Amino acid sequence: MKPKILVSACLLGQPVRYNGRALTLESELLESWKAQGMVVPLCPEVAAGLATPRPPAEIEPGQSAKAVVSGQARILDIDGEDVTGAFLSGAQIALDTARAHGCGYALLTDGSPSCGSSFVYSGYHDGVRRQGQGVTAAVLSRAGIKVFAQHQIRELGALLPSC
């Protein structure tokens, strides 16, 4: 049985990012996985009902995805609107989808307050990066799903059996 990989829909060319665009990942590995039926596409934010385009959102300054998941921090859009509920809902949808399809891996868009796996933004909407995860990446990781950012696709490929 081939492994399944949950993949951020924007990396697959779907225009679902906050700015209404895709962040298409050009990769022979990804194309091969798609051809073999290993890819399960999902945008947690869109799945949770957020519009495209939508105001950019970030985890509160100095807070973490873990704090958001535990109810101790929020995700705010650039207008100050609390969008935490939608992001938590999207993370749960991502986990449910991964489990339903038997995904042991996820390839997610780094920097996102949902999908970031190595960095997110400062929370001040100033373009400054900081180490951390988004809520979807944190929820998936906690459930035992191995999460990778798009720039780590080769590391993910090295873990997968030859297909």
Sequence ranges of the domains in the chain: 4-159
pLDDT for position 121: 98
pLDDT range class, residue 127, cuts 50, 70, 90: very high
Residue 133 sits at the vertex; the CA angle it makes with 127 and 136, to the nearest 5 degrees, is 115
pLDDT digits (tens, 9 = 90+) for 14-28: 999 999 999 999 999
The single-letter DSSP state of residue 129 is: E
39, two tokens: 């890819």
Model confidence at 38: pLDDT above 70: yes
Of 10, 36, 128, 113, nearest in space to 67 by CA = 113
Model confidence at 106: pLDDT above 90: yes
* Mean pLDDT, the chain, integer: 97
Three-state DSSP state, 107: strand
* Global model pTM greater than 0.85: yes
Model confidence at 161: pLDDT above 80: no
> How distant, in Å, are the alpha carbons of 95, 115, 119, 130, 163 from that of 26?
25, 18, 21, 26, 19
Backbone phi and psi for residue 43, each to the nearest 5 degrees, phi listed first: -110, 110
What whole-number percentage of the chain has pLDDT above 90?
97
